[in-house]
Amino acid sequence: MEAMAVSRGLASAVRFDGVASSASSCSSSSSSSCVPALVSYSGLKRINAGVSKVVRELRVAPAGARGGVRGLRVEAAAVNGAPQSFDYDVVIIGAGVGGHGAALHAVEKGLKTAIVEGDVVGGTCVNRGCVPSKALLAVSGRMRELRDEHHLKALGIQVAAAEYDRQAVADHANNLATKIRGNLTNSMKAIGVDILTGVGSVVAPQVVKYGRIGFADKTITARDIIIATGSVPFVPPGIEVDGKTVFTSDHALKLEWIPEWIAIVGSGYIGLEFSDVYTALGSEVTFIEALDGLMPGFDPEIGKLAQRILINPRKIDYHVGVLAKKITPAKNGKPVQIELVDTKTKEVKETLEVDAALIATGRSPFTKGLGLEKVNVVTQRGFVPVDERMQVLDAEGNKVPNLFCIGDANGKMMLAHAASAQGISVIEQIAGRDNVLNHNSVPAACFTHPEISMVGLTEPQARALAEKEGFKVSVAKTSFKANTKALAENEGDGLAKMIYRPDTGEILGVHILGLHAADLIHEASNAIAMGNTIKDIKFAVHAHPTLSEVLDELFKSAHLEDHAVVSEKAAEPVAV
């Protein structure tokens, strides 16, 4: 799905996951001649391409043809029997981070916009995910510092024993979510976005129904519909969740109690962040991981270093290669019981007894009840199938006109900022300017102490691609121990790693573990997004002494072949 064939009618050169591919043809369904148009690839350079004058399918038009695009689309809608006039230009189902980003950009483009939300504005990220979890992690980071006598002594600091108030910590997380939720709501109301309360569904092409229990349903029409319903925690079969002693991240963020011993099922982003919180607040943690190693989604070298820094020195043990086949909540004076079986043989290994269990096994798309069957769309494991432009595909693989899906519901990249980027990309298309988001340029971060961040390919992924495509891969590394600012903070543990092509200087992936890694990654992600090569950026000047010099040294340490290219943007120096 990530690198599907370029839609017909578009002649372009597109790069996905470091692979350059090309297509050049005009729509075979039209006798119209092809005209040049500027096609924007979000995360890539803009390039000229030939695009058919027929824009009903691609929504691409020459510059200044926005009104013409709308006219053609209304005509197409009439032919298909859909409404000929609309209540809104855009209706978005779901007011999470993705829907919010799409709504703001839609208004900026002059589109009359409504957003339908059946729960609360902000979705999972703001209310039950990345926002309140960062509040808890802020507390865990400070507690970790204040209780690290060796670290403080090295800085010449002496403090009394640090304590915390559990309820005050929980209130901090809840208050932050409330504040951000209010900010998002007000930001939409201020620019004229209609916020419609109720559960939304598609009842016909370009028609949305929404309503609440006890109230009559309402129906609205829209030129374009964007599905942005997000996801919910995935709970494997055999696990009984009571919300008290066996719970998901939704419950854990309330911080109703601090168990002495908690098992965390899953060692990805969610599990790793919660291990940071619980150990800082005094809990012992046991990881249960179905795969053969911890942190399976990370670059292996970064994962190995993370285990040395984030796992081994703390009160954490782990079981890998096992499944939690059955988990029973604490009841009748008995603790939580977890039956572990071998992932491969399904042989029972042992039964753990702990105070609590956090289920951090990923998330499932929240797409039931959307009415997709009304437009002949069949979900795939719950995910809504889409093409590279986020346009929904029907059961036969054909594009459903005027229907898009962004964020966790499509499964391309389950990150809040990826959902927002997808939403903005879709609005660009609706406004008449084609846009393709390069997911390879979207960064990710794990907010442990220290942090982990990444963008692009891992080393194994890059080497597999290189073997398939026939190019060389090189790796550059630099340590935080060589950075003055990190040493001044007494935070020298850390590594930055770049995977790149020595022949072209293309950056394939960057991975960082260390102080403020989540902030540092953006220099690399922006370089990938803009199509910059290492030669373009290795002479950039960084303030001294700053942590940004970790990336500066990383770029400078790359060894390029003599013929490595410089992008057109950086080819000519500019005197100021």
Q: Is 200 annotated as a binding residue?
A: yes
Q: Is 289 annotated as a binding residue?
A: yes
Residue 333's contacts (CB-CB under 8 Å, 6 or more residues apart) are: none
Q: Is 507 annotated as a binding residue?
A: no
Q: Output the DSSP codes for 378-430.
A: --BTTBPPB-TT-EEE-TTSPEEEEEEE-GGGT-S---HHHHHHHHHHHHHHH
Q: Is 516 a catalytic residue?
A: no
Q: Is 105 annotated as a binding residue?
A: no
Q: Is 231 annotated as a binding residue?
A: yes
> Beta strands 199-204 and 261-265: pairing type?
unpaired
Q: Is 134 annotated as a binding residue?
A: yes
Spatial separation of the C-alpha atoms in residues 103 and 122, rounded to whole Å? 12
Q: Is 408 annotated as a binding residue?
A: yes
Q: Is 465 annotated as a binding residue?
A: no
Q: Is 417 annotated as a binding residue?
A: yes
Spatial separation of the C-alpha atoms in residues 385 and 411, rounded to whole Å? 9
Q: Is 267 annotated as a binding residue?
A: yes
Report the candidate in 491, 138, 151 with the shortest Cα–Cα distance to residue 281. Answer: 138
Q: Is 88 annotated as a binding residue?
A: no
* Catalytic residue selected from 151, 439, 544, 559: 544
Q: Determine contact, residues 130/108, Cβ cutoff 8 Å.
A: no
Q: Is 444 annotated as a binding residue?
A: no
Burial class from Cβ neighbours inside 10 Å (0-12, 13-18, 19+) for residue 92 reads buried
Q: Is 499 annotated as a binding residue?
A: no
Q: Is 196 annotated as a binding residue?
A: no
Report the candidate in 356, 516, 379 with the shortest Cα–Cα distance to residue 448. Answer: 516
Cβ neighbour number for residue 289 with a 10 Å cutoff: 24
Burial class from Cβ neighbours inside 10 Å (0-12, 13-18, 19+) for residue 200 reads buried
Spatial separation of the C-alpha atoms in residues 359 and 382, rounded to whole Å? 20
Q: Is 64 annotated as a binding residue?
A: no
Q: Is 333 annotated as a binding residue?
A: no
CA 321 to chain centre: 26
Spatial separation of the C-alpha atoms in residues 521 and 513, rounded to whole Å? 10
Q: Output the DSSP codes for 542-570.
A: --TT-TTHHHHHHHHT----TT----GGG
Q: Is 146 annotated as a binding residue?
A: no
Write out the catalytic residue numbers: 544
Q: Which residues are annotated as a binding site for NAD(+)?
A: 266-273, 289, 362
Q: Which residues are annotated as a binding site?
A: 134, 200, 229-231, 266-273, 289, 362, 408, 414-417
Q: Which residues are annotated as a binding site for FAD?
A: 134, 200, 229-231, 408, 414-417
